[in-house]
Chain A
Amino acid sequence: MAGFREARGDLQLESVTKSFGDFVAVDGIDLVVPRGSFFALLGPSGCGKTTTLRMVAGLEQPSAGRVKIGDTDLTGSRPYERPVNTVFQSYALFPHLTIRDNVAFGPKRRKDADAAQRASEALELVQMTQFAGRKPAQLSGGQQQRVALARALVNHPEVLLLDEPLGALDLKLRREMQVELKRIQTEVGLTFIHVTHDQEEAMTMADTVAVMNRGRIEQLGPPAELYDLPRTRFVANFLGQANTGVGTIEGIDGDHLVADVLGTKVRILQDRSQVHEGQVLFGVRPEKVTVSRKQPDGVGNDVKGVVRDVSFLGVATSYLVDMPSGTTWSCYEQNLDVEPLDLRPGDEVWLTWNPGHAFGVPADPA
Chain B
Amino acid sequence: MSSLAPVSQVAGDPAVHPTPPAPETQKRSWTAYLLLLPGVLWLGVFFILPLVQLASVSLQSRYPGFPGYYYRDLNFENYVAALTDYAPHFARSFLYAGMATLLAFVIAYPLAYAMAFKAGRWRNLMMICVIAPFFTSFILRTFAWSQILADEGWVVGVLSFFNLLPGGSIINTPIAVVAGLTYNFLPFMVLPIYASLERADPRVIEAGGDLYANGFTTFRTVTLPMSMPGVLAGTLLTFIPAAGDFVNMELLGPQRGKMVGNVINDQFLAIPGGYPVAAALSFTLMAAILAMVFLYVRRFGTEELV
Q: Which residues of A contact B (CB under 8 A)?
A: 4, 57-59, 78-80, 84-86, 88-90, 92-97, 105-106, 109-110, 135, 137, 151-152, 155
11 new A-B contacts, CB < 8 A, other than A86-B206, A155-B212, are A58-B209, A59-B209, A80-B214, A88-B206, A88-B207, A90-B203, A92-B204, A95-B226, A135-B304, A152-B210, A152-B211
C-alpha spacing A85/B203, complex, angstroms: 13
C-alpha spacing A260/B305, complex, angstroms: 66
A3 to chain B, nearest CB (A): 10
B210 A85 Cβ-Cβ under 8 A: yes
- Which 6 pairs of residues, A with B, have the shortest CB-CB distance? A109-B212, A92-B203, A106-B211, A79-B209, A92-B207, A96-B225
A100 to chain B, nearest CB (A): 14
Query: Which residues from A are CB-within-8-Å of B305?
Result: 95-96
A250 to chain B, nearest CB (A): 55
Query: Which residues from B are CB-within-8-Å of A105?
Result: 208, 211, 213, 221
C-alpha spacing A89/B212, complex, angstroms: 19
C-alpha spacing A110/B221, complex, angstroms: 14
Query: Which residues from B are CB-within-8-Å of A96?
Result: 225-226, 228, 302, 304-305
C-alpha spacing A137/B204, complex, angstroms: 14
Query: Which residues from A are CB-within-8-Å of B221?
Result: 105
B152 within 8 A of A: no
Query: Which residues from A are CB-within-8-Å of B213?
Result: 80, 105, 109
B204 A109 Cβ-Cβ under 8 A: no
Given A88-B203, A94-B204, do A80 and B210 touch, yes or no (CB 8 Å)? Answer: yes
B85 within 8 A of A: no
A93 B204 Cβ-Cβ under 8 A: yes
- With both beta carbons as reference points, the residue of chain B lying nearest to A90 in the complex is identified as B203
C-alpha spacing A94/B203, complex, angstroms: 10
Contact for B206 among A79, A95, A155, CB less than 8 A: A79
Q: Can you give 29 A-B contacts (C-beta < 8 A)?
A: A4-B212, A57-B210, A59-B206, A78-B214, A79-B206, A79-B210, A80-B211, A85-B211, A86-B206, A88-B203, A92-B201, A92-B204, A92-B206, A93-B204, A94-B208, A95-B204, A95-B305, A96-B225, A96-B226, A96-B302, A96-B304, A105-B208, A105-B211, A109-B211, A109-B213, A137-B304, A151-B207, A152-B211, A155-B212
C-alpha spacing A85/B133, complex, angstroms: 46
- With both beta carbons as reference points, the residue of chain B lying nearest to A84 in the complex is identified as B210
C-alpha spacing A109/B221, complex, angstroms: 10
B211 A78 Cβ-Cβ under 8 A: no
- With both beta carbons as reference points, the residue of chain A lying nearest to B225 in the complex is identified as A96
Query: Which residues from B are CB-within-8-Å of A155?
Result: 211-212
B53 within 8 A of A: no
- With both beta carbons as reference points, the residue of chain B lying nearest to A88 in the complex is identified as B203
C-alpha spacing A51/B98, complex, angstroms: 47
Query: Which residues from A are CB-within-8-Å of B228?
Result: 96
Q: Which residues of B contact A (CB under 8 A)?
A: 201, 203-204, 206-214, 217, 221-222, 225-226, 228, 302, 304-305
B217 A109 Cβ-Cβ under 8 A: yes
C-alpha spacing A155/B225, complex, angstroms: 23
Most chain A C-beta atoms within 10 Å of own C-beta, residue among B203, B208, B209, B212: B212
C-alpha spacing A86/B209, complex, angstroms: 10
Query: Which residues from A are CB-within-8-Å of B203?
Result: 88-90, 92
- With both beta carbons as reference points, the residue of chain B lying nearest to A105 in the complex is identified as B211
Query: Which residues from B are CB-within-8-Å of A59?
Result: 206, 209-210
Query: Which residues from B are CB-within-8-Å of A86?
Result: 206-207, 210
Query: Which residues from B are CB-within-8-Å of A152?
Result: 210-211
C-alpha spacing A57/B213, complex, angstroms: 14
- With both beta carbons as reference points, the residue of chain A lying nearest to B214 in the complex is identified as A80
Query: Which residues from B are CB-within-8-Å of A109?
Result: 211-213, 217
- With both beta carbons as reference points, the residue of chain B lying nearest to A110 in the complex is identified as B212
C-alpha spacing A92/B210, complex, angstroms: 11
Query: Which residues from B are CB-within-8-Å of A84?
Result: 210
C-alpha spacing A86/B194, complex, angstroms: 28
Most chain A C-beta atoms within 10 Å of own C-beta, residue among B207, B209, B225: B207
Query: Which residues from B are CB-within-8-Å of A95?
Result: 204, 226, 305
B218 to chain A, nearest CB (A): 8
B217 A78 Cβ-Cβ under 8 A: no
Given A79-B206, A96-B225, do A90 and B212 touch, yes or no (CB 8 Å)? Answer: no
Query: Which residues from A are CB-within-8-Å of B222?
Result: 94
C-alpha spacing A135/B304, complex, angstroms: 8
B74 to chain A, nearest CB (A): 48
Query: Which residues from B are CB-within-8-Å of A58?
Result: 209-210
C-alpha spacing A90/B228, complex, angstroms: 22
C-alpha spacing A256/B225, complex, angstroms: 68
Query: Which residues from B are CB-within-8-Å of A90?
Result: 201, 203
B207 A94 Cβ-Cβ under 8 A: yes
Query: Which residues from B are CB-within-8-Å of A135?
Result: 304
B212 to chain A, nearest CB (A): 4
Query: Which residues from B are CB-within-8-Å of A88?
Result: 203, 206-207
C-alpha spacing A58/B208, complex, angstroms: 12
B298 to chain A, nearest CB (A): 17
B239 to chain A, nearest CB (A): 23
- With both beta carbons as reference points, the residue of chain A lying nearest to B217 in the complex is identified as A109
Most chain B C-beta atoms within 10 Å of own C-beta, residue among A96, A97, A110, A155: A96
- With both beta carbons as reference points, the residue of chain A lying nearest to B226 in the complex is identified as A96
- With both beta carbons as reference points, the residue of chain A lying nearest to B202 in the complex is identified as A92
B129 to chain A, nearest CB (A): 28
C-alpha spacing A90/B205, complex, angstroms: 12
Most chain A C-beta atoms within 10 Å of own C-beta, residue among B201, B211, B213, B302: B211
- With both beta carbons as reference points, the residue of chain B lying nearest to A59 in the complex is identified as B206
C-alpha spacing A94/B201, complex, angstroms: 10
C-alpha spacing A4/B217, complex, angstroms: 15
C-alpha spacing A110/B208, complex, angstroms: 12
Query: Which residues from A are CB-within-8-Å of B209?
Result: 58-59, 78-80
Query: Which residues from A are CB-within-8-Å of B302?
Result: 96
C-alpha spacing A213/B221, complex, angstroms: 38
- With both beta carbons as reference points, the residue of chain A lying nearest to B207 in the complex is identified as A92
B56 to chain A, nearest CB (A): 45
